[in-house]
Chain A
Amino acid sequence: MTDQPVLDVRGLVVRRDDLVAVRGVDIQVRAGQRVGLVGESGAGKSLTALAVMGLLQLGWTTEGQVLHDGVDLTRISDRAFSSRRGRTLSMIFQDPLSALNPTQRVGAQITGVVRRHTEASRDDARAQALELFTQMHLPRPEQMLRAYPHELSGGQRQRVMIAMAMACYPQLIIADEPTTALDVTVQKQVLRLLDAAVQDRGSALLLITHDLSVIAAMCDHVLVMYGGRVVEEGPVREVLRSPRHPYTKGLLESQPTLDNIELEGTARLPSIRGNVPSLHDMPTGCAFRTRCDRATAQCEVVPVLEGDASRAACWHPEPALSQAGRS
């Protein structure tokens, strides 16, 4: 395989009239790489994913380039795009119940994807679907193929979604909050299956989540988004061990985890003050400055991503670790 990235997003802007939700985002995903995109509501992460998949709702427009498999996805026809979705790139959504067709048996939905993109006969496609269900550890896969989405549990539906996304060995899988709607105890199981499925196929993964622990479990590279921009980027180990942007740092510290809380103590969790800004009143300059303890007049100008091991868009970042364990 060449060194060309599977996905190369350059200067992506997503807007609806005056509302700019994504403000110039660059993302590179190399073959087999697992990139995490983390952020809160309104950070622009889901719109970024939808823009890449060509699934934005009417009224939203994009600027910039989305290069994938030798083409700019923002410039190809709907028809050409349809022939790619599910084949060279596919997506797993947060809520499988609304992403699956409620009137069709799940088996038929999977064989539909396979037959659309390959020459497989009906029987071959069915055999493949069965194989996929078995890989996804769906109980009694033969019967499960004949089930309708509403007959399955949330975890089972999400496993069906993953099976469907994996069916044609795509180069890139985009998973948008794949476990957020699931029960905690099911989350790990589904992540494990996603992990194995991506591994087996050598696919690249772009995982979108609000949860840093999911990023730590699944990804090797991470981009932190805030207010429509990437504010920090780098290898997961670097960014999560020694975050340089005050937002990343605050996010890490404010999560109650079994490690950082003094159980039964009176200690308070460190928290980020203020509120997540809405698209309508996004601060100018660095969007985080209104909640940041380090903000100065300089922050009224948008900072650019800078750094070596990991890059942060901040005028007053944490110093990079001196020994900077490069890989």
Chain B
Amino acid sequence: MSAETHGVPIIAASGVCQEYKLARRTLLGRRERLAALQDVSFHAMPGEAVGVVGESGSGKSTLTRLLVGQERPTAGVMEHEGRDLWSLDRDGRQEFRRSVQVVLQNPRSSLDPRMRVGSSLLQPLRALHVEVDMAARVREVLEQVGLGTDVLSKYPHEFSGGQLQRIAIARALMPHPKVVIADEPVSALDVSIQAQVLNLLKDLVTELGLTLVLIAHDLSVVAYTTSRVAVMSGGRIVETGRPADLFHHPTAEATQALVDAVLTVENGLAGKALR
């Protein structure tokens, strides 16, 4: 797609490492370190949809936390539109927070249960001091995610998982972000609803020119939604490529393992799913 031609990545990690100190085993013992990310370089161009796949423990969520600026890497540089994320001034930081939004796996735990949906949607605008016509923005965003204004006065418990995930996506869109980072956005949803939400994310990328970083363990989900996929294993990115190439000619062992792990109805009916 056209993504490669734009020059500066909207969000990038270069040579990033992240270590966590583990709890002391003994009272006076040294604290061991866990290298969660090792020398990871990753980028997304404006308007591009990029996927990150890997097993649990491969470093996907750590990368997510670094991309949204929630944690500072122990080594390497995180960049937003070519500027070092961790040397931004106050305004730059504010602008970054507005520009990069996140959608998490479980909308039930990412929306405040005591807050009406309407207030939840306005939170990002208030917190980030975005000056817009709030009512108009709410209407616009609700339309983008396919919900009516009747949701505004309700509480999260009144919705099903699929509707809540739409609301969480709407909240992420409120401050006009350039990047949406979605961490396992459909794995907590019912099967018949997953396709709706994936279609929605795909539409937002095309219609709003959003950059999407989709993190998931399911290769087929990522392949359907994105045009470039990074495969993670053991804290490293072991392979990056177009989904079709990864599926048909995986080179890294981890990619092969993920491809092999995919169960399909066709394979099952042919009696070769468990081979």
Contact with A along B218-235 (1 / 0, CB 8 A): 111101100100000000
Is the CB–CB distance between B265 and A184 below 8 Å?
no
B257 at interface by CB-CB < 8 Å: yes
Tell me how far the C-beta of B1 lies from the nearest C-beta in chain A, rounded to whole angstroms.
8
CA–CA, A252 to B274, complex, Å? 20
A275: B residues at CB distance < 8 A? 160, 162-163, 193
Known A185-B55, A188-B274, A264-B227: A213·B244 in contact at CB below 8 Å: no
Is the CB–CB distance between A255 and B274 below 8 Å?
no
**Which chain B residue shows the least CB distance to A213?**
B263
Is the CB–CB distance between B265 and A212 below 8 Å?
yes
Known A187-B261, A213-B263, A256-B221: A241·B269 in contact at CB below 8 Å: yes
Question: CB within 8 A of A276: which of B192, B199, B206, B266?
Answer: B192
B198 at interface by CB-CB < 8 Å: yes
Is the CB–CB distance between B269 and A236 below 8 Å?
yes
Is the CB–CB distance between A264 and B244 below 8 Å?
yes
**Which chain A residue shows the least CB distance to B273?**
A217
Binds B, one of A3-11, A53-61, A266-274: A266-274
Tell me how far the C-beta of A141 lies from the nearest C-beta in chain B, rounded to whole angstroms.
23
Is the CB–CB distance between B160 and A256 below 8 Å?
no
Is the CB–CB distance between B191 and A40 below 8 Å?
yes
Tell me how far the C-beta of A222 lies from the nearest C-beta in chain B, rounded to whole angstroms.
11
CB-contacts of B162-215 with A (<8 A): 162-163, 190-196, 198-199, 202, 206
A273: B residues at CB distance < 8 A? 196
Is the CB–CB distance between A266 and B206 below 8 Å?
yes
Question: CB within 8 A of B266: which of A195, A250, A259, A263?
Answer: A259
Is the CB–CB distance between A213 and B261 below 8 Å?
no
Is the CB–CB distance between A261 and B274 below 8 Å?
no
**Which chain A residue shows the least CB distance to B162?**
A275
Is the CB–CB distance between A188 and B265 below 8 Å?
no
Is the CB–CB distance between B263 and A250 below 8 Å?
no
Interface residues on A, range: 35 or more
**Which chain A residue shows the least CB distance to B263?**
A213
CA–CA, A264 to B224, complex, Å? 7
A254: B residues at CB distance < 8 A? 191-192, 194-195
CA–CA, A272 to B162, complex, Å? 12
B128: A residues at CB distance < 8 A? none
B71 at interface by CB-CB < 8 Å: no
B86 at interface by CB-CB < 8 Å: no
B191: A residues at CB distance < 8 A? 40, 210-212, 251, 254-255
**Which chain A residue shows the least CB distance to B243?**
A263
**Which chain A residue shows the least CB distance to B247?**
A258
CB-contacts of A165-200 with B (<8 A): 183-185, 187-188, 191-192, 195
Chain B interface, DSSP helix/strand/loop, else mixed: helix
Is the CB–CB distance between A264 and B269 below 8 Å?
no
CA–CA, A233 to B189, complex, Å? 24
CA–CA, A210 to B194, complex, Å? 12
Is the CB–CB distance between A269 and B198 below 8 Å?
yes
CA–CA, A235 to B168, complex, Å? 40
B267 at interface by CB-CB < 8 Å: yes
Is the CB–CB distance between A40 and B223 below 8 Å?
no
Is the CB–CB distance between A184 and B220 below 8 Å?
no
B227: A residues at CB distance < 8 A? 264
- Scoring B190, B257, B261, B263 by chain A CB atoms within 10 A of each residue's CB, the highest score goes to B263
CB-contacts of A35-49 with B (<8 A): 40-41
CA–CA, A258 to B246, complex, Å? 11
CA–CA, A252 to B194, complex, Å? 12
Question: CB within 8 A of B217: which of A183, A236, A257?
Answer: A183
Is the CB–CB distance between B223 and A217 below 8 Å?
no
B92 at interface by CB-CB < 8 Å: no
Question: CB within 8 A of B190: which of A41, A195, A256?
Answer: A41
A145 at interface by CB-CB < 8 Å: no
Is the CB–CB distance between B243 and A264 below 8 Å?
yes
Which positions in A face B, CB cutoff 8 Å?
40-41, 183-185, 187-188, 191-192, 195, 210-218, 236-237, 240-241, 247, 250-252, 254-259, 261, 263-264, 266, 268-273, 275-276, 278
Known contacts A184-B55, A216-B265, A240-B268; 6 additional CB pairs below 8 A are A40-B191, A184-B217, A217-B267, A254-B195, A263-B242, A264-B242
18 contacts between A and B (CB under 8 A): A187-B263, A213-B267, A213-B268, A214-B263, A216-B269, A240-B269, A254-B194, A256-B194, A256-B223, A257-B262, A263-B224, A264-B243, A269-B198, A269-B224, A271-B196, A272-B195, A272-B196, A275-B160
